[in-house]
Structure 1
Amino acid sequence: MSEPKHNGILKYEPSLVGNVAMGAIYAIEGLLFLYYIARHKNKWALCLPIGALASAAGFFLRLMMDPDNFKLTLYIAQQALVVISPSAFLAFNYMLYGRFIIAIDPEFGVDKAQSRSEKSRYSFIPPRIVGRTFIWSDAITFFIQMSAGGLQASGAKNNPSLVNLGDKMFLVGVSAQGISYCLFTTLLTVAVRRLIKEKQRTRVAQQKQSWLGLDRNTAMIAGSFYASSLFIIIRSIYRVVEFTQGYQGELISKEIYLFVLDAVPLVLAIGVWAINWPTVLLDRIAVQICPRLRSTFRE
């Protein structure tokens, strides 16, 4: 994590300790998530370990980068893995939202004829289309960022204007991704707020109250959702500021910012699910409210 002293697209020597450490942590999390998925048969959650292992590969690839001997393909690969693969973490939260609504709303899913258009009293958007809607948004911003990385790398040696265009495209991509996730967090907040109001009004879960009238398992998954979202938003703000500053900016010039404001927040964003695997909590909630829903969370 030395001071910037190179004039190429990479302005520092990648830190051996920092990149190995971050790569190892991501790899451990990815393997742990694979274990959870195999144990609980949660195939829908595969995006989480895939994203974690891809991020691990990205940090390990960074060790091969030489700022004085620039290789275009290597730069594009590590950029895609480190900057873009975390889109999988957002996708996991998006898909988890619908399952969370199913767990807390026993009336949802009763009318099979309504299918995707069925609404829940907790969600102002039909839960079954929330995941698809935000994942499509994520996919679009993913391809914008991929294209931006290609432009940056293509113009790295002798075309500053191409690099500048890549920076602007990256800014559009990460900004749109951040706005999309903030909208999703608003949707989650509405659902949790409505649930809390209902619990307080009906005085449900007077025994073993945990947080504002919610039972312990519901409070844990809601709290984990918010913790994960907070770290994702911190990372999004960092990326927006980084690309706003541009190619000569402070944030892109020192590797320490990548570790502290990107890698660590994302490690924590998915780390909350390593501590509280969500389908375990959803199963417990379903047992209390409506046991017929348990198998739903594995689909």
Structure 2
Amino acid sequence: MSESATNATTAAAASSIIANSPYHYIPTEGVCITFIVLFGLATAAFFFSAIRFRLWWLLPTACLAGIGEIVGWAGRLWSSLNYMNSNAFLAQITCTIIAPTPFLAACFIIFSALSQRLGPAYSRLSPRWYSRIFLTCDIIALVIQGTGGGIASSADDDSTQNLGSNIMLAGIVFQLVALSIFMSLMAEFYWRFLTTRPFGGVASNSSASTLYISRHWNTKLKLMSAALSFSTVTLFIRSIYRVIELAGGWNGRIISTQVYFNVLDGAMVVLAMYSLAIINPGYFLYRDAVEESDMLEKDTPTSTPRETY
């Protein structure tokens, strides 16, 4: 066969894939396996952290998110072997859209504990309200995205599938708005804390305030704060990408470009999960709080109940 004939055959095969594959490409098998392994290791790390430090909320948040990502990337791996399988496509797009939502809940819980440790006076909301408000928003976003995913996965025609896609898009937009508000409040908290400008008018040069910060702003909490901030930013980038992707429709340029998905979705969620798996809240936040509480109890004649987060 001549070179021109070979090129023509290759072009025809590529055109067939673009025309028939719901992705408009074939997911790369090696990339899918890599992400399955990465998410599997991160999920295992969070599971052992939940057991080791008795942080049971990691199970329905970080661990559930990891499992969802594994299922989603397993769907993409399935598609790499059979790109015409619509069930594999719908499973991967539904799971990869919904999975990071529980992980955001873990971020909200961690910041609630951090704001309690560093000083509630620097926060616009009380630590508990961060959990209550943003966990509620997370649940609402999860329900909306799950509803859209269910409609899309059971659709028999394009109009119903588009309806499911639009509902998922609404859920992601709602989540993006809530995350933007959360990040604004978190940024304000750290600005007030680092410049000693608490609500209530305590002077920035107050010796009591400076002493409070010097005692609490230790290396562990600095690393925990940095890891949480980095994780939140990567999830924010990923949310922006998914909004643009779904807004472009099933045949849009964004959804049809594999590298965008691998970098702006898969890699962003991996970075978010590994930042908190390595800078683990069990060791860098909660263990430190328990040790400090024990020291305070020893120094205080009348012990007080240990504070929990």
Normalised-by-shorter TM-score class: 0.7 to 0.9
Q: Match of 2:196, SS? A: helix
Determine the structure 2 residue equivalent to 1:32. Answer: 45
2:64 to 34, 47, 50: 50
User: What percent of counterpart residues are identical?
Assistant: 24
Q: How far is the alpha carbon of 1:288 from its aligned partner?
A: 5.5
Q: How does 1:190-269 map to 2 (within 5 A)?
A: 190-198=188-196, 201=205, 202=207, 203-204=210-211, 214-269=217-272
1:284 and 2:302 are equivalent in the alignment: no
Q: How many corresponding residue pairs?
A: 275
Aligned 1:41-80 pairs, distance under 5 A: 41-46=54-59, 47-65=61-79, 66-71=82-87, 74-80=88-94
Q: CA distance change for structure 1 residues 286 and 194 in 2, over 3 Å: closer, same or farther? A: farther
Question: Could you tell me the TM-score, scaled by structure 2's length?
Answer: 0.79
Residue 147 in 1 paired to residue 151 in 2? no
Could you tell me which runs of 5 or more consecutive residues in structure 1 were left unpaired when the two chains were aligned.
Answer: 106-119
CA distance, structure 1, for counterparts of residue 77 and residue 111 of structure 2 = 37
| 1:134-192, Cα deviation, whole Å (9 max, x unpaired) | 1121111112222222333344x6x3322332332222111110111111111211221
Does the C-alpha gap of structure 1 residues 281 and 246 become closer, same or farther in structure 2, counting only changes over 3 Å? same
- SS of aligned partner of 2:121: coil
Quick one: distance in 1 between partners of 2:147 and 2:214? 54
In the aligned structure 2, how far is the partner of 1:206 from the partner of 1:70? 55
- 1:165, 1:35 → 2: CA distance? 40
Aligned to 2:101: 87
Q: 2:185 aligns with which of 184, 187, 201?
A: 187
- For residues 54 and 115 of structure 2, the distance between their equivalents in structure 1, rounded to whole angstroms, comes to 20
Match in the other structure for 1:7: 20
Deviation at 1:214, TM superposition (A): 4.1
Point out the structure with max Rg over C-alpha: 2
The residue identity in structure 1 corresponding to 2:112 is: G
Amino acid at match of 1:171: L
Which amino acid counterpart does residue 170 of structure 1 have in structure 2? M
Change (3 A) 1:193 1:279: farther
CA contact (8 A) 2:26 2:83 kept: yes
Letter of the 1:70 counterpart: S
Structure richer in helix, relative to its length: 2
| Residues 117-141 of structure 1: per-residue CA shift (max 9 Å, x gap) | xxx3122222112212211211111
- Bigger relative contact order, structure 1 or 2 (CA pairs below 8 A, ≥6 apart): 1
CA distance in 1: counterparts of 2:72 and 2:132, whole angstroms: 27
Contact 1:6–1:68 (CA under 8 A) maintained in structure 2: no
